[in-house]
Each structure stands twice: as structure tokens, then as C-alpha cells.
């Protein structure tokens, strides 16, 4: 495991997002290994915090990150909800818009040639997707329906030896993240994956 990440913005703590430094490092290390097998696809980019870690790893190896998000926020980001950020609310449109902030963060990190934004709902984008993936990172909607859609529509594209990473996997049922825990259990029960590591709430699996 590396301890330093070349090109990581000095103000990474100021970038809006939901990722610990240890989880970011684990995403970076995983993407460095997996990007030799194929592109990385992330579901749920928000303002690009996780995308930065994935993108910096892929840039080193000439790889690509597809960063998928409709940029309208999950349930918990909407007005009146616990994780709502009024700075990310487009009052003219009357809805959340994280894409502007996402693009700024990607551009400032020099990752425009590495990160391909896919501004879409996960299910819609999956319909015609055909490329095998070196790594899939699931951090989209946390309802059971959304998590199941992400797992069912995208995990079949992970190539042998590739990585499936899932965020907000908590073994404690009183904590948030029971849908991510549910798809983590499905993946393990399928017999198709081995566990690589768990870092904070990030579970990292390898496709056998
Ligand atoms: C928890 S945030 C992602 C956090 C991000 N990975 C980070 O490092 O800060 C979840 C994101 O998933 C997106 N999202 C939720 N449901 C989605 C769906 N069905 N399709 C695409 N994006 C979705 C939301 O817009 C939101 O930006």
C-alpha cells in the first residue's frame, strides 16, 4: 500500500463529500491495480471526492474513470433532509445540482482527460453499456431499490480479477447503510467474489 498520492489536492479535506482519507487511499490503491484490466466505473460521484482518488490512480497508468451520477442528489441530500447542502441547490431550477462543483474539482486536479462524466440515472446508463470493467465502485442511492439496481445492472460487467468496491457497508443494523450491506452480502453469497479488505465503511471485493 502506498501512503502518498501524487497530485492529491492539498485542500482535499475542503472538497465536499462523504469519504474518509483511509477510504480514499483504499480506492486509489484498488484502482491502481484494477485499471490495467479495464476502465473504472463509479456510481455516485457527488462533487468528485471519490472520483479524484480513482482518477489520480488511473491517470498514472493511462486508464479512464467513468463517473456516473445524475447530479440531482440522493434522498438524504434533498431540501429538508439531514445531508442537504444549500450551496449545491440550484434555486432557479428548484433542484440539486452537484455537476458544476464536480467539474470544477476535476478540472482543478487536471483530470479532464482521465475522468469521463456520465450525467445520467444509473439504470438508464446501464441499458446499452457493453465494456468490461476493471473496477466498479458503488456509492449511489442508498434505498434498497437503488442499491439493488446498481448491483444488478453493473456488477456483471466486472472482468475476472477486477474489483467491486461498495461504500457505506455497515455490519451494525442500527447504523445507516443497510442497502449497501445487503448488496455486499449478495455479492459474497454469489460465490463470485473474494473479500480483499474493509476500510472504514468501504468494502473491497475481487471478482474470481
Ligand atoms: C453519497 S453520494 C456520493 C458521494 C461520493 N462518492 C463522494 O466521494 O463524496 C451519492 C450520489 O449518488 C447519486 N445518485 C443517487 N441515485 C442515483 C442514481 N439512481 N443514478 C445516478 N446517480 C445517483 C446522487 O446524485 C449523489 O451525488
CATH number at residue 45: 3.40.50.150
CA distance 76 to 43: 16
Number of separate domains in the chain: 1
Residue of minimum CA distance from atom 6 in ligand 1: 45
- CA 75 / ligand 1 centre spacing (Å): 10
pTM over 0.95: yes
- CA 70 / ligand 1 centre spacing (Å): 8
pLDDT attached to residue 174: 73
pLDDT tens string, the chain, 208 residues long: the values are 445 899 999 999 999 999 999 999 999 999 999 999 999 999 999 999 999 999 999 999 999 999 999 999 999 999 999 999 999 999 999 999 999 999 999 999 999 999 999 999 999 999 999 999 999 999 999 999 999 999 999 999 999 999 999 999 998 877 766 999 999 999 999 999 999 999 999 999 999 9
Whether residue 145 is contained in a domain is answered as: no
Q: 132 with 80: CB under 8 angstroms? A: no
CA distance 97 to 95: 6
Whether residue 81 is contained in a domain is answered as: yes
Whether residue 70 is contained in a domain is answered as: yes
**Measuring CA to CA, how many Å separate 88 from each of 2, 66, 69, 85?**
33, 22, 14, 6
User: Mutate which of 16, 74, 142 to test ligand 1's pocket (most atoms within 8 Å of Cβ)?
Assistant: 74
Instruction: Give CA 166 to chain center in angstroms.
Output: 8
Whether residue 130 is contained in a domain is answered as: yes
Index of the ligand 1 atom closest to the CA of residue 168: 1
pLDDT attached to residue 108: 97
pLDDT attached to residue 44: 98
Strands 115-118 and 65-68: parallel
- CA 96 / ligand 1 centre spacing (Å): 12
Index of the ligand 1 atom closest to the CA of residue 42: 6
pLDDT attached to residue 1: 45
Whether residue 205 is contained in a domain is answered as: no
| Residue ranges making up the domain that contains 67 | 15-137+155-163
Whether residue 92 is contained in a domain is answered as: yes
Reported as a single tens digit per residue, the pLDDT across 40-96 is 999 999 999 999 999 999 999 999 999 999 999 999 999 999 999 999 999 999 999
Index of the ligand 1 atom closest to the CA of residue 50: 8
What average pLDDT is seen over the chain?
95
41-77 as b/e: b if 16+ CB within 10 A? bbbbbbbbbbbbbbbbbbbbeebbbbbbbbbbbbeeb
Which positions are catalytic?
142
User: Mutate which of 141, 145, 183, 201 to test ligand 1's pocket (most atoms within 8 Å of Cβ)?
Assistant: 141
Whether residue 187 is contained in a domain is answered as: no
**Residues in the ligand 1 pocket, defined by CB under 6 Å:** 17-19, 44-46, 49-50, 68-74, 98, 121-122, 139-141, 146
Residue of minimum CA distance from atom 15 in ligand 1: 141
Amino acid at each position: 500500500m502506498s501512503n502518498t498520492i501524487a497530485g492529491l489536492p492539498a485542500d482535499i479535506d475542503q472538497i465536499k463529500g462523504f469519504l474518509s482519507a483511509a477510504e480514499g487511499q483504499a480506492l486509489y490503491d484498488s484502482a491502481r491495480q484494477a485499471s490495467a484490466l479495464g476502465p473504472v466505473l463509479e456510481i455516485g460521484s457527488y462533487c468528485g471526492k471519490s472520483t479524484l482518488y480513482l482518477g489520480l490512480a488511473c491517470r498514472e497508468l493511462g486508464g479512464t474513470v467513468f463517473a456516473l451520477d445524475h447530479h440531482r442528489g440522493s434522498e438524504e441530500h434533498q431540501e429538508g433532509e439531514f445531508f442537504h447542502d444549500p450551496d449545491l441547490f440550484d434555486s432557479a431550477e428548484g433542484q440539486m445540482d452537484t455537476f458544476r462543483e464536480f467539474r470544477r474539482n476535476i478540472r482543478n486536479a487536471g483530470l479532464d482527460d482521465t475522468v469521463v462524466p456520465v450525467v445520467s440515472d444509473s439504470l438508464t446508463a446501464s441499458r446499452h453499456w457493453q465494456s468490461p470493467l476493471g473496477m466498479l465502485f458503488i456509492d449511489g442511492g442508498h434505498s434498497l431499490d437503488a442499491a439493488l439496481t446498481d448491483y444488478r445492472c453493473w456488477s456483471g460487467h466486472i472482468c475476472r480479477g477486477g474489483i467491486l468496491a461498495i461504500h457505506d457497508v455497515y455490519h451494525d443494523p442500527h447504523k445507516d447503510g443497510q442497502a449497501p450491506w445487503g448488496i455486499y452480502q449478495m455479492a459474497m453469497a454469489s460465490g463470485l467474489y473474494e473479500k480483499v479488505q474493509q476500510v472504514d465503511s468501504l468494502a473491497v471485493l475481487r471478482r474470481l
